[in-house]
Amino acid sequence: MTTDADPATSDDRAAVAAVKAALRAEALARRDALSEAKRAAAAEEIADRIAGLGMAPGAVVSAFLPIRSEVDLRPAIARLFTAGHRIGLPIMVKPTLIFREWLPDAPLVPLGFGTVGPGPAAAVVEPDVMLVPLSAFDRRGGRIGYGRAFYDLTIAAMRTAGRAPRLIGVAFSVQEVGAVPMEPHDVALDMVVTERDVVVP
């Protein structure tokens, strides 16, 4: 039996964390190296693929706005909204997230960390489908986030409450890695959408 204080367990966790950190840094460096033109073209391809996923009519979809060199989901958000979906954007309420409704004419407010989103007056929505940001992914549905576990904790809380949203990672193809080391708290994705293909484990 091991405990949190067990040196072997601590060493194992440290080793996994180090692998994840290296994969994250390498994938983000490849993402950062993409030109603005390539990122813009890829965002349109990704929007096309998301629009073709066959989401249930009226499904509530959580999305995200780009930070730094992330995929720009605004083309996808516009298409989903036009198709009749309600859109939620993430708001940090530590240690998890809530999702406030995005509307095309509603102002966005600064949220810290260079992000913006709907203000406190916006309705809070419960997503049926989550478009999940990531730093790296593999073809088994493994995901490496940004190291703060907001999405993992949020999804775990949803499942505890009896909700099971469809989890769709969104990334550029250059963010793919051979294998993501998965830990017990890590949540696997149902699929990953890139500009090249839709990865289904």
Pairing of the two strands 191-193 and 198-199: antiparallel
Residue 2 lies in a domain: no
- The DSSP secondary-structure symbol of 163 reads -
Residue 123 lies in a domain: yes
pLDDT tens-place values along the chain, 201 residues long: 334 444 457 778 889 999 999 999 999 999 999 999 999 999 999 999 999 999 999 999 999 999 999 999 999 999 999 999 999 999 999 899 999 999 999 999 998 777 899 999 999 999 999 999 999 999 999 999 998 889 999 999 999 999 999 999 999 999 999 999 988 888 999 999 999 999 999
CATH number at residue 147: 3.40.50.10420
> Binding-site residues for ATP, please?
20-24, 143-151
> Binding-site residues for substrate, please?
65, 70
Residue 51 lies in a domain: yes
Boundaries of domain holding 110: 7-199
Residue 129 lies in a domain: yes
Hey, how many other C-beta atoms are within 10 angstroms of the C-beta on 145? 19
> Binding-site residues, please?
20-24, 65, 70, 143-151
Residue 91 lies in a domain: yes
Domain count, the chain: 1
- The DSSP secondary-structure symbol of 188 reads P
* DSSP code per residue over 56-70: PTT-EEE-----TTS
Angle at 55 between CA 128 and CA 50, to 5 degrees: 105
Residue 67 lies in a domain: yes
